């Protein structure tokens, strides 16, 4: 039966041609003894794969299941291997079919049917891999929209012609030219490479952070250097996969470098300042710092561009790294040094001030966080005020008098109680009002 499709669109005519080819191929397979033998081998290979996979699945499950509560690297690898067991059936079917294909080709000098069946089993394996094995959201998305369609095209035997057609289509950008196939390959490979780069960077960073014998600043610098190296290698591999000649990037790279030099001076300055900070270790994560501009807080994060300070009221302040190099910085936590504070107070003029220093120093020394070294509490006479005699007690503590710590408040309580227990009065302002002349008379 023939149809006149000359008046139909080209796509309809092309579809009809493919349909006729498929029909002729199916008819030749249905009427060929060699095709029937290949169908029989396909069924045999699948049944054999089912039987073998059932036995292997139980055996591998027992071997790969780690002991309860075991969390070392080998245990995690064994648990990951357990996730791949659904691939056992299609891969065994693919293996047995490949063996059957070699036998059929040696007997009949053809194996189109069994080769198609082998590609079907491979497609099923890819589909199970994307659907049941891969757990990462990005890899699952890449597998669903890239790996599975490629496997489907390979199954129907149209992958190579399509790749050749896309390879003939080129895109030019100045001195750089690449094919559409190279672009598609670059997108897929780029996604995989940068995912691998991110994963390896996370693993490396976690390993470095566990090296507690290294200084925090050195750990940060090492992590950043490894991160830069990993993604630089991934970028170069991506260009190589896409077939882009790296020498062709020289002119464009030079122009971009000049533009970056003029337009991104601040970013470059902050990046270099961040490297200097990490090398010298004068300010690192965990330190409480106060900048010349008045910003103060604990450093909770240091990036290539800026440091993040967290204040005691929960706010985050982003400070460019350059400010740590070009301005004055007070580090209250550097080298674990103690900090000195003072608590001012006054006593009445009726007091024997020679008793005050010993009383106050003994009271402040009872505070559990007040240190004897580098200096014990020291009570000093500061002056004679309008209402009383001014004193101040200096004391040293390991920590900051803010946030969870209330050192000055605690010391003032101790001073109050000590003065009260010893009968020493804390003065308050007195005013004497002198009225000249007679008092005004009030009529009743």
Mean pLDDT is lowest, of 29-43, 46-60, 203-217, for: 29-43
Beta bridge partners of 291: 329
Confidence at residue 11, expressed as pLDDT on a 0 to 100 scale: 60
Q: Choose the most confident range, by mean pLDDT, from 87-101, 124-138, 350-364.
A: 350-364
For residues 337 and 118, the model is more confident at: 118
The torsion angle over the Cα atoms of residues 323, 309, 410 and 342, rounded to 10 degrees, is 0
Q: How far apart are the first and last CA of the chain?
A: 134
pLDDT at 345: 94
Distance CA 338, CA 400 (A): 9
Q: Are strands 288-291 and 329-331 parallel, antiparallel or unpaired?
A: antiparallel
> In this predicted structure, what is the pLDDT of residue 1?
47
Over the chain, what is the mean pLDDT?
A: 77
pLDDT tens for 181-198 read: 777 777 777 777 777 777
Band of pLDDT at residue 346, cut at 50, 70 and 90: very high
Q: How many whole angstroms from its chain centre is CA 144?
A: 25
Give 381 or 138, the one with higher predicted confidence.
Answer: 381
Residue 184's CB: how many other CB atoms inside 10 A? 15
Q: For residue 14, what pLDDT is reported?
A: 61
Cα 190 to the chain's mean position, in Å?
A: 18
CATH of domain 338-421: 3.30.70.100
pLDDT tier at 92, thresholds 50, 70, 90: confident
Query: What is the pTM assigned to this prediction?
Result: 0.49
Identify the three-state secondary structure at position 406.
coil
Mean pLDDT of 26-41: 62
Q: 283-334 has which CATH code?
A: 2.30.30.60
pLDDT in tens, 244-297: 666 655 555 665 566 556 656 777 777 777 777 777 767 777 788 888 877 788
**According to the model, what pLDDT value does residue 28 have?**
57
Where is average pLDDT lowest: 149-153, 237-241, 331-335, 409-413? 331-335
30-34, 66-70, 134-138, 242-246, range with greatest mean pLDDT: 134-138
Residue 106 pLDDT > 90: no
Q: Is residue 153 packed enough to be buried (19+ CB in 10 Å), middle (13-18) or exposed (0-12)? A: middle
Whether the CB-CB separation of 364 and 415 falls below 8 Å is answered with yes
What local confidence, expressed as pLDDT, does residue 15 receive?
A: 60
For 151-184, what is each residue's pLDDT tens digit?
A: 888 888 777 787 787 777 777 766 666 677 777 7
The larger pLDDT score, comparing residue 317 to residue 202, is at: 317
- pLDDT of 51 higher than 80: yes
User: Strands, E, within 12-163: which ranges?
Assistant: none
């Amino acid at each position: 039966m023939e149809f006149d499709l000359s008046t139909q669109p080209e796509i309809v005519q092309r579809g009809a041609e493919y349909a006729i080819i498929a029909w002729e191929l199916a008819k030749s397979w249905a009427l060929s003894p060699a095709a029937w033998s290949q169908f029989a081998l396909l069924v045999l290979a699948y049944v054999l794969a089912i039987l073998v996979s059932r036995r292997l699945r139980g055996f591998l499950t027992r071997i790969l299941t780690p002991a309860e509560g075991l969390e070392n690297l080998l245990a995690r690898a064994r648990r990951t291997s357990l996730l791949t067991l659904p691939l056992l059936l299609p891969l065994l079917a693919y293996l047995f079919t490949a063996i059957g294909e070699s036998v059929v080709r040696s007997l009949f000098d053809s194996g189109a049917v069994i080769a198609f069946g082998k590609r079907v089993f491979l497609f099923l394996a890819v589909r199970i891999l994307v659907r049941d094995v891969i757990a990462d959201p990005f890899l699952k998305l890449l597998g669903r929209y890239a790996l599975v369609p490629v496997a489907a095209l390979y199954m129907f035997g149209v992958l190579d012609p399509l790749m050749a057609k896309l390879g003939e289509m080129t895109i030019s950008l100045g001195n750089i030219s690449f094919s559409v196939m190279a672009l598609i390959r670059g997108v897929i490979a780029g996604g995989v490479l940068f995912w691998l780069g991110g994963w390896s960077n996370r693993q490396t960073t976690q390993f470095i952070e566990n090296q507690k014998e290294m200084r925090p600043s050195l750990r940060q610098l090492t992590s950043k250097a490894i991160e830069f190296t990993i993604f630089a290698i991934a970028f170069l591999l991506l260009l190589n996969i896409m077939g882009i000649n790296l020498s062709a990037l020289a002119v464009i790279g030079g122009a971009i470098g000049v533009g970056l030099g003029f337009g991104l001076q601040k970013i470059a300055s902050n990046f270099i300042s961040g490297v200097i900070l990490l090398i010298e270790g004068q300010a690192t994560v965990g330190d409480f710092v106060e900048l010349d501009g008045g910003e103060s807080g604990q450093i909770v994060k240091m990036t290539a561009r800026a440091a993040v300070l967290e204040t005691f009221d929960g706010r985050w302040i982003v400070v460019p790294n350059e400010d740590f190099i070009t301005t004055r910085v007070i580090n209250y936590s550097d080298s674990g040094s103690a900090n000195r504070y003072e608590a001012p107070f006054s006593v009445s003029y009726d007091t024997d001030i020679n008793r005050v220093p010993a009383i106050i120093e003994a009271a402040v020394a009872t505070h559990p966080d007040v240190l004897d070294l580098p200096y014990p509490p020291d009570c000093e006479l500061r002056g004679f005020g309008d209402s009383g005699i001014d004193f101040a007690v200096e004391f040293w503590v390991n920590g900051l008098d803010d946030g969870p710590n209330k050192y000055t408040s605690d010391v003032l309580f101790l001073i109050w109680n000590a003065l009260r227990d010893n009968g020493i009065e804390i003065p308050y302002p007195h005013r004497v009002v002198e009225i000249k002349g007679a008092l005004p008379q009030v009529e009743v």
